[in-house]
């Protein structure tokens, strides 16, 4: 299995793209060294406010490249970007869960509402 660091992972994806807004935003991620604030990430990459792929996918790629081995960290950091959280977290979580360390997947099932008790559930 090939292992990429964060920069190499983003570069590999960027290399597959034609010149576009998406590729331009991903290029900016290559210069976000260290631990950039969520505000800088949103300003640079978007967070789904515009409800377009160009405004969600770059953030998801960055989050996944950074937290791909830790499902819970990937979700918490993605949700902290606010805006279109259901979409961004569905994207980040759907990808992250395939690659993360199984020990990073929390057991939230005990805290989920019993759907059978819902007034909308019919037998």
Residue in the block written with tokens 């959280």: 85
| Residue pLDDT, tens place only, 42-61 | 999 999 888 888 889 999 99
pTM above 0.75, yes or no: yes
| Residue pLDDT, tens place only, 89-112 | 999 999 988 888 888 888 886 777
Handedness of CA 73, 11, 9, 23 (dihedral sign): positive
Q: Which residues are CB-neighbours of 92 under 8 A, at least 6 positions away?
A: 60, 63, 64, 74, 75, 78
């Amino acid at each position: 299995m090939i292992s990429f660091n964060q920069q190499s992972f983003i570069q590999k994806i960027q290399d597959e793209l034609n010149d576009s807004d998406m590729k331009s935003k991903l290029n900016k991620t290559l210069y976000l060294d260290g631990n950039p604030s969520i505000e800088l990430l949103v300003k640079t990459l978007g967070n789904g406010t515009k409800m377009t792929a160009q405004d969600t996918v770059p953030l998801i790629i960055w989050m996944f490249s950074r937290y791909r081995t830790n499902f819970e960290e990937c979700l918490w950091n993605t949700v902290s970007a606010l805006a279109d959280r259901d979409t961004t977290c569905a994207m980040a979580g759907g990808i992250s869960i395939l690659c993360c360390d199984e020990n990073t997947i929390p057991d939230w099932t005990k805290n989920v509402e019993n759907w059978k008790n819902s007034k909308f559930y019919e037998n």
